[in-house]
Amino acid sequence: MTNRLTIIPAIDIIDGKCVRLTQGDYDQKKIYNEDPLEVAQQFEDAGLTRLHLVDLDGAKASRIINHKVLEKLAGRTGLLIDFGGGLKSDDDVRIAFESGARQITGGTIAVKKPEVFESWLRQYGGERIILGSDVKDGYVAVSGWQEKSQLELFPFLEDYLQKGVQYTICTDVSKDGLLAGSAVQLYRQIREEFPELKLIASGGVTTMDELEKLQEIGCYGAIIGKAIYEQKISLKELTSFVTH
């Protein structure tokens, strides 16, 4: 029996509002709702239990900015929130957890300052620190996908598995925000190579069929953003993954 795929809706925040970018481009921004709490409550009402909350202002500023939004969502819903975007210092991570994050995601920091990311893993444990592994042409992408590092994805994952990482959110940058399908083949390869890693697929998920495929190959979860906001997948349809 394959484990049931965990559906993780996404809320991206700029200026306190719920937005989506296309391929990480701030010039391709669309505001979907002025009130992220309203959106989060709709997710919770549909029976979803998790939320991927991204501080896009923070990602740009390289420090936490929208922690008040996090605090509000954590305080007024029961959603388990993983929070990311610009977390660079011990203080940023402390503020995120104090504001109600259940987990935090670090991507660029894991590439550029591995010693800092490793110290978070030691302090908080692999249950609470998610590795963000954004990928472009087989290499890890950093800094809001604006640059491609010299690190190949598979050795990068291998290295952090040894250091205690349990979860990774893997986004194929070429797929993100285009509603053109996710990188199923890439995820299949990751699952074959690292079966013990809890793999969360992200970027381009557009259809229920894809979610079934991601479940079949053994992904732990799937992050869905634009497909919900553009009504390609309804919250009602997603309840099939929630109800047992």
Q: pTM for the whole thing?
A: 0.93
Residue 66 is predicted with a pLDDT of: 97
Residue 125 · residue 134 · CB < 8 Å? no
Tally Cβ neighbours within 10 Å of residue 55: 25
Q: Is 134 a catalytic residue?
A: yes
Mean pLDDT of 123-129: 97
pLDDT at 146: 60
pLDDT value at residue 1? 42
Catalytic residue among 12, 55, 82, 176: 12
CATH of domain 6-242: 3.20.20.70
Residue-wise pLDDT for 92-103, tens only, equals: 999 999 999 999
Task: Say whether 12 is catalytic.
Answer: yes
Distance CA 204, CA 64 (A): 26
Given the residues 55, 57, 134, 176, select the one marked as catalytic. Answer: 134
